Structure 1
Amino acid sequence: MEKVDLKRSLDAYRAKPGELRIVDVPELQYLMLDGRGDPNGPAFAEALEALYPVAYALKFASKRELGRDYAVMPLEGLWWADDMDAFTIVRDKANWQWTLLMLVPDWIDGAMVDDAVAAVAAKRAPARLHDVRLEPLAEGRCVQTLHVGAFDDEGPALERMHRDFIPERGLRMTGRHHEIYLSDARRVDPAKRRTILRQPVVAAQPGTAPGS
């Protein structure tokens, strides 16, 4: 049975350190779960405890019932705050809001997700299990780069993206800051973690200040 690996087939999952580039991201579907606060806190841990078991239950069900195998995709996150300087300058984690994501193939449907949630619940029901949902995300045109290093060292790359690269190309930010965690933070040294940093953009309106 051939195993599909969407990281290899989707251009949106390719990035190089130090290189900012524009990519067009197609509409994709994800397992999602929302939260708020410091990613080192209990709310984030509870979200992970719910998301991962559903992702693996779906993979095994797809292989068993459909004869279609695929690699479970890495964890991703949408991040935002009322003041986006909370990410690039002050790193005010208590006020961060987030949606955790895990990409799933287009042949996975809502009924399969419901069955996967039920299968997980039958063994051990994480506190936020029933908050996991399947939802499409259409980001369109984005700017992204690869950050190598600790999460708390992302600030300079984000500031360069937000304040220089995007406005210099007649673009402005829209949507939510998106991170793709290519490395397992539980096993990889912080200095070696590989994270795609992505920001959806649109053309700036004529007459507006750069980046506004």
Structure 2
Amino acid sequence: MKIDFKKQIGSYSAPRGRFSVVTVPVMQFLMIDGHGDPNTAQAYDDALKTIYPVAYKLKFFSKTELDRDYTVMPLEGVWWAEDMEAFTNARDKSQWDWTLMIMVPDWITPEHYEAARETVASKGGAPSLNAVRLERLDEGLSVQILHVGSYDDEAAVLYEMHNRFIPDNGLRMTGRHHEIYLSDPRRAGPDKLKTIVRQPVARLRE
């Protein structure tokens, strides 16, 4: 029976047009870091060409060798900049840093990951293979919302989240801006893209 973790893990759904406070469980991800405009940077294109083959190789390994099948999870990205104005307001994408991620089940071990990497390496075509890692992420308490529309239209949502909802609810930002891409931009128009926008937070002491 194939497992779809998007349906099992509550933080992979979010209401549209309304902020919600959730507790995100600790999860394991394939990760790859980079810098620059995701629309033009070669590093971003190389990261995509690398992380997906590893993710699918792990999925098929799990299905055939472990008899545990699952749906490959959506691409996710953690984003930041040395000057966060370049991210939230000026939107100077050339200044952005990012970590692309794909969640993999906890039963995938470092040994399984290394075997998958070696198989992908033997076939070629994964230019950033040496940069991929398997790592756990603990975001915990977070604020999130479902954004429908172009990625470039997120600025107003981020302003509301950062400057109104979070402080008005006795919270402060802790971790980095996180996006979960529920739509494939190759198949959906910019106005139809569904993205969970997330910000890890902590409660202010009273």
Q: Which residue of 2 aligns with 1:17?
A: 16
Is the Cα contact below 8 Å between 2:49 and 2:125 reproduced in 1? no
User: What is the root-mean-square deviation in Å for CA atoms of aligned residues?
Assistant: 0.9
CA distance in 2, matches of 1:17, 1:98: 25
What secondary structure does 2:16 align onto? coil
- Counterpart-to-counterpart distance in 1, 2:175 and 2:6: 22
Partner residue, 1:209: none
TM-superposed deviation, 1:18: 0.4
CA–CA distance in structure 1, aligned partners of residues 196 and 87 of structure 2: 15
Q: Normalising by structure 1, what TM-score?
A: 0.94
What does residue range 7-86 of structure 1 map to in structure 2 within 5 Å? 7-41=6-40, 42-86=42-86
Report SS of the residue matched to 1:3. Answer: coil
Cα distance in 2, alignment partners of residues 131 and 82 from structure 1: 21
Q: Which region of structure 1 is more displaced relative to structure 2, 78-87 or 173-182?
A: 78-87
Query: Secondary structure in 1 aligned to 2:202?
Result: strand
Residue 151 of structure 1 corresponds to: 151
Which residue of structure 2 lines up, in the alignment, with residue 127 of structure 1?
A: 127
Shift in Å at residue 204 of structure 1?
A: 2.5
- Alignment-derived partner of residue 193 in structure 2: 193
Structure 1 residues not aligned, in runs of 5+: 207-212
TM-score, structure 2 as length reference:
0.97
- The CA deviation at 1:205 is 4.7
Q: Deviations over 1:15-56 (max 9, x none)?
A: 121010000001100000000010112111000000000000
Q: Secondary structure at the match of 2:38?
A: coil
In structure 2, distance between residues paired with 1:147 and 1:125:
33
Which deviates more from structure 2 when the two are superposed, residues 119-128 or residues 72-81?
119-128
C-alpha displacement at 1:126, in angstroms? 1.7
SS in structure 2 at match of 1:4: coil
Tell me how far apart the structure 1 counterparts of residues 127 and 53 of structure 2 sit (CA, whole Å).
Answer: 12
What does residue 117 of structure 2 align with? 117
SS of the equivalent of 1:101 reads strand
Identical amino acids, percent of aligned pairs: 56
Deviation (angstroms), 1:83: 2.1
Cα distance in structure 2, aligned partners of 1:105 and 1:10: 12
**Which residue in 1 is equivalent to 2:183?**
183
Alpha-carbon separation, structure 2, partners of 1:87 and 1:146: 19
